[in-house]
Amino acid sequence: MEVGIVARKGSERAASLAATLRDVVVDAGESVWLDEETAGALDAGDDARPVDAFGDCDLVVAVGGDGTFLFVARNAGDTPIVGVNLGEVGFLNAVPPADAATALRAEIRAFRGGGLDVREAPRLTASASDWTSTPAANEVVVQGERRGPGGGIDYEVRVDGSRYAGGHADGVLVATPTGSTAYNLSERGPLVHPEVDGLVVNEMVADEGMPPLVVDADATVTVSVADDAGATVVSDGRDTATLDGPVEVTVERAAPPIRIAGPPSDFFEALGKLS
């Protein structure tokens, strides 16, 4: 079994826990990979691998907050991920630090016994002509070059070909249930339970907008921008592309989904930490 471990960058606490988990894997007689940052922090260069190679692992452990989990998810393909929560909320990272070693031993036993118990969370991609975005775990945003007065986009939103909304806004956000607690929430969108198979369509500071809409997870959402200035598309607040206008951006579910191993988080307990 190949087990990858990624610790939050710059965190001594995360690095220390990663060292403990590395020992758990080695003591179990399995192979351990560390991303290059974690290997450097632990002076374990022989175990270092590029994080984008972790898709070849059987399991990856993300030690940190939800941001660390999403960093792993962007790079690990469909490899199952166990999240150890060193953050404040923990929608994705369900395992407390004190339980991390026990949880990892349980996952190793499960793998040896025939397979891991894995849950799936959707990802999104945006596309236009011959361009496709990096898959997003939280949301895709189609917006103007800048927000606020004098900025934004003139747009039309369609869901499976049917017009839902249009006008002028700072932008349009399409979020997964995972992402409903992130940027979508700050834009007054609805919270969506992770077991709901849907996506949120949310206009951002629209002049005459519609309420946020939850659509089927397999729906195709298109955002058309007629202006020659085009649009800026942002995936998970991280990866940005500027597209010339006029342009039609299509947002839809991507494969593979994020695969989450280990015990599930308590969604409502995590919500309580937001206040």
C-alpha pair distances (Å), 28 with each of 8, 32, 43, 59: 24, 10, 21, 14
66 is an active site residue: yes
Q: Which of 27, 56, 58, 66 is catalytic?
A: 66
Q: CA nearest 100: which of 13, 24, 42?
A: 24
Q: Tokens 């747009």 correspond to what residue?
A: 155
Assigned token pair, 165: 């909304």
Omega before residue 246 within 30° of 0, cis:
yes
Q: Which amino acid is at 169?
A: A
Q: What's the half-sphere exposure (Cβ side, CA atoms, 13 Å) at 203?
A: 21
Assigned token pair, 160: 């499976």
What residues are annotated to the active site?
A: 66
